[in-house]
Structure 1
Amino acid sequence: MNFNLKSDSVQNSNHLLLNPSVPKDSDFIKELRENSLLQVMDELESQVSDLIKLQNPSLKFTSFELKKQVEEFFDVEDRLTYGNWVYYPWKNALVRILPEEEFIAVRTARNKFKITQEEQDLLSTKKIGVIGLSVGQSVAIALAMERSFGELRIADFDTLELSNLNRIRTGLYNLGLKKTTIVAREIAEIDPYLKVTIFENGVSSESMDDFFTENGTLDLVIEECDSLEIKIETRIKAKNLGIPVLMDTSDRGMIDIERFDLEPNRMIFHGFLEKFGSESEILGLFAEKKVEILMSILDFENISSAGKYSMSQIGLTITNWPQPATTVMLGGAACAYYCRMVLTKKNQFSGRIYVDLDQYLEIPHES
């Protein structure tokens, strides 16, 4: 079972990869299948069909020819022991899948050549950290779907609440569950071979070293948390380690990119906080200058008019910064895209990018 508690982290999610050619796994598969309530999904022939088509791209098979190819495939491979089974206890489901190498090839086939094989291989070696899993959920799922990492470390201390369902793509049955658990499970349902490490207590000053460096240093960090202190501390840590940081603000499609890997002396948040003193001094100013620091980080003059009005209403008619699903999903996809550009060395840009859909409707961003 790939579920290993270790300090504040959990290795992988609580699904089981079972190899039917291994006697103890085979016995457990048989035991599971004796449960009449278990959902058993065995679409191995369909996956092998996809594999055969992938390996013969210039051939156009008829249904009969493809069926014949699948039969011949299993004349060579033993169907009873070929591939793996995945057990999802939270779904009470057992699913048959291709072996890892073949599974990855088929699942990423429609990435080519927007993502080359060389890039896909490079991405499979990368370690990405995501802090904050409201907006961060969309980024994490997009990264998983494109298979843009070898390991994903996800951190959030919070549980799912009803008000989160305006922007987190999940179901009511997950209310009360840890956001880390929800994201890890969804990734496991997409690709059980991906490695996900969970920090279910979030990232703190005490756990930041483990998040950044335990079992290998991160290659990139996506910061989407609410805590100003952690936002600052994350960037100071990333700067010291030479790790790029990306952030989506869910307003005007703004993606923030800080290339500490290329510019080790670059000021955090592009120097927007320089007026408050040194990076270490800023951490001591939150009690008295929290609002001013936040406005500087967000670059208040460039926030949309709806965003500015919403901020004026926090604590009066609303409780938090608004994040509708369309802006969160757009930002999640854009952030995942720029992550891939950074990790495959196609982008050396530091600064802020606006994927602002309102500009095409001539909607002003200033009040």
Structure 2
Amino acid sequence: MDASTKEVYKPLILSASDEVSNSVIQELKNDTTLLIHDEIRSQVGDLIKLRNPQKKYPPLELDEAITDFFGSQSISDFGNWVYYPWRHCLVHMLPEEEFVTVRTVRNKYVITEEEQRELAGKKIGIIGLSVGQSVALTLALERGCGELRLADFDTLELSNLNRIRTGVHNLGVKKSVIAAREIAEIDPYLNVVLYSEGVQDDNIHDFFTKGGDLDLLIEECDSLEVKIKSRIKAKKLGIPVLMDTSDRGMIDIERFDREPERPILHGLLREFGDESGLVAEISNQYPEILMALLDFNKLSSGAQQSIQEIGKTITSWPQLASSVILGGGACGYYSRMILLGKEIHSDRYYVDLEKIANFSHGS
């Protein structure tokens, strides 16, 4: 990958009807190495069918309706052309409103139009993009928000490819950039803001508030310090927090928006002192704080064994793709419920597939 595009994650959206943008489009098209993908007629066909749901269009009739849609306008001058620098690819797309309408039509009534509009005004922050990548992609696919803020300082390593959806060509690329690019390729109009240095003391306030306060934090990082500091910040601002542990399908929910005095992490760290002093205790009592936070006795037997092997036969906490993807789906669901004002209470919720299978077998 060219060094000049290694950190680029935002596509260039060019209006086909704008004179300045059109000159850029033509300049790009003059490059014989450019990949051009123009399926605007099929997108318009989807739009026509969406607007006439009771009508069945035979292929020839639909083709005529598409031609009538454009009328005397040049097809190349309709909609937007989106340039993806990291792929050196130019794609012809519907304008934003029509694009979003068509792309989310299969959400309808499971997510109502009113709910979809409400979600479009929401901002979600995700810290940690190993597990968090699955969450981010689920939210992007459903368009469960209007803005995603993604924070992770790490780059992709080969051992990450057991659970992070990407290819070997992205080894060495920032995880935040990888996630943002995949989202942009699904929906170039969804606003994504990156914190590729991770969340630190000098940017945590911006992460939570710049451009408007977050409506929800999804915390998926490995750092105990960031886990604690991000919750203290969320509590101060009245922002709910979700965390997927990728073990026993457990989703941790803290409704600081409804319970401003609620202790962070359900009070599991009370024995280590006041919340304001917890970070200072990490270096002295790291194993004890970690075990308390995880509620060790409620972990799966595999997770318990893994923790005991860290630093002996393995270097870090194992995470499986099946668990990470399950967590992405669960976080997507609970995010939507919380952001739409449903009665989701602070707690730890389990979708324990092993327990379900054993129960089914026994019955």
Q: Offset at 1:64? A: 1.1
2:72 and 2:125 map into 1 onto residues whose CA distance is: 42
2:346 and 2:91 map into 1 onto residues whose CA distance is: 43
1:30 and 1:168 map into 2 onto residues whose CA distance is: 36
Aligned position for 2:3? none
TM-score by length of 1: 0.94
Matches within 5 A, 1:8-87: 13-75=9-71, 77-87=73-83
Q: Offset at 1:173? A: 0.5
Paired residues in the alignment total 353
Q: Offset at 1:78? A: 4.2
Aligned position for 1:183? 179
Q: Deviations over 1:239-260 (max 9, x none)?
A: 0000000000000000000000
Instruction: Work out whether 1:91 is the aligned partner of 2:87.
Output: yes
1:282 and 1:90 map into 2 onto residues whose CA distance is: 42
Q: Deviations over 1:199-227 (max 9, x none)?
A: 01000122110100111111100000111
Aligned position for 1:6? none
Q: Which amino acid aligns with 1:258?
A: E
Q: Which amino acid aligns with 1:157?
A: F
Indicate which of 298, 304, 309 corresponds to 2:305: 309
2:251 and 2:135 map into 1 onto residues whose CA distance is: 12
Aligned position for 2:117? 121
Q: Deviations over 1:327-355 (max 9, x none)?
A: 00111111111001100112331101101
Q: Offset at 1:74? A: 0.9
Q: Offset at 1:77? A: 4.9
1:196 and 1:62 map into 2 onto residues whose CA distance is: 39
1:361 and 1:25 map into 2 onto residues whose CA distance is: 56
Greater share of helix: 2
Instruction: Extract unaligned runs of 5+ from structure 2.
Output: 1-6
Instruction: Work out whether 1:279 is the aligned partner of 2:275.
Output: yes
2:341 and 2:10 map into 1 onto residues whose CA distance is: 34
SS of the counterpart of 2:140? helix
Aligned position for 1:230? 226
Aligned position for 1:110? 106
Q: Offset at 1:274? A: 1.1
- Name which of structure 1's ranges 197-206 and 75-84 shifts more when overlaid on structure 2: 75-84
SS of the counterpart of 1:35? coil
Q: Offset at 1:15? A: 1.3
Q: Offset at 1:60? A: 0.7
Instruction: Work out whether 1:158 is the aligned partner of 2:154.
Output: yes
Indicate which of 188, 193, 205 corresponds to 1:192: 188
TM-score by length of 2: 0.95
SS of the counterpart of 1:30? helix
Aligned position for 1:7? none
SS of the counterpart of 1:283? helix
2:31 and 2:72 map into 1 onto residues whose CA distance is: 31
SS of the counterpart of 1:152? strand
Aligned position for 2:336? 340
Percent identity among equivalent residues? 58
2:298 and 2:133 map into 1 onto residues whose CA distance is: 25
Instruction: Extract unaligned runs of 5+ from structure 1.
Output: 1-9
Q: Offset at 1:106? A: 0.2
Matches within 5 A, 1:184-263: 184-263=180-259
